[in-house]
Amino acid sequence: MIAFEHVTKKYGRDFALEDSTFSLEKGKIYGLLGPNGSGKSTTLKMMAGLVFPTSGNVIINGKKADRKTAADVAYLSELDFFYPSFTVNDMLKYSASQFADFDRTRAEELLDFMKLDRKKKLKQLSKGNRGRLKLVISLARNTPILLLDEPFSGLDPMVRASIVKGLLSYIDFEKQTVVIATHEIDEIEMLLDDVIAIQDGRILAIENVEELRETKGLSILEWMKQIFEP
């Protein structure tokens, strides 16, 4: 489903990702975990075909990632890319016009679930509600790959809880591969099948969450503390 083959990405002299090789299986939820600036966002952008490697190959569904990869990937950016004058409903209409796989019925259900006012302008929404709207737009697409970049950044605990419920309710666990890049673990530990530790552009380890618990007796947080200890 997703494969990195000796992928390096440099910005000037700095490595965002360095000679990384790994693959992600269909139908799993992965946590891409690491401190800020570790290379998580760049890795997701390469999966989405928005950024290209300096060397090596990123393969998505058997094809080299490029701009057309967006047809197979729903990507939630940490940043807001909204038109402030749009209403929530305008944003749904715009998204439906851009993505052939956008499911308007599901989007309407998600709006109700997230308790978003369709008539409100985006510039009037709180950061938490903008985060909810971004998730609505991502989950409303029928794509085999869902990429979420820091979906809980700056959100209060109640909003985080609603986002986790949305993920549980609207992800197709049999067909979709989900990658969640975050440095906040508590809310999503229950969701994850595998975890990937990244630091300074290097993949340090990939582990199955169930095996971590049963074989090593470690929670994800305990495992991270071991991995990232200086």
pLDDT of residue 4: 97
Domain of 131, CATH number, reads: 3.40.50.300
Q: Which long-range contacts (CB under 8 A, 24 or more apart) does 115-118 make?
A: 116/88, 117/88, 118/87, 118/88, 118/89, 118/92
Which residues constitute the domain of residue 104?
2-228
pLDDT band at residue 148 using 50, 70 and 90 as cut-offs: very high
Mean pLDDT calculated for residue range 1-24: 95
* Local structure of 159: helix, strand or coil: helix
Q: Is the pLDDT of residue 112 over 70?
A: yes
Percentage of residues in the chain having pLDDT higher than 90:
65
pLDDT band at residue 144 using 50, 70 and 90 as cut-offs: very high
pLDDT band at residue 90 using 50, 70 and 90 as cut-offs: very high
- List the Cα angle 121/124/126 in 5-degree steps: 125
Torsion of CA 27, 33, 159, 105, to 10 degrees: -30
* Local structure of 30: helix, strand or coil: strand
pLDDT band at residue 166 using 50, 70 and 90 as cut-offs: confident
| C-alpha span between 104 and 109 (Å, rounded) | 9
pLDDT of residue 131: 85
pLDDT band at residue 129 using 50, 70 and 90 as cut-offs: confident
* 24-66 pLDDT, tens digit each: 999 999 999 998 889 999 999 999 999 999 999 999 999 999 9
Q: Is the pLDDT of residue 169 over 90?
A: no
Q: Residue 92: CB partners within 8 Å, gap ≥ 6?
A: 104, 107, 108, 111, 118, 136, 137, 140
| C-alpha span between 125 and 226 (Å, rounded) | 39
| C-alpha span between 15 and 9 (Å, rounded) | 6
| C-alpha span between 67 and 51 (Å, rounded) | 9
Strand partners, 102: 141
How many structural domains is the chain composed of?
Answer: 1
Mean pLDDT of the chain: 90
pLDDT of residue 132: 86
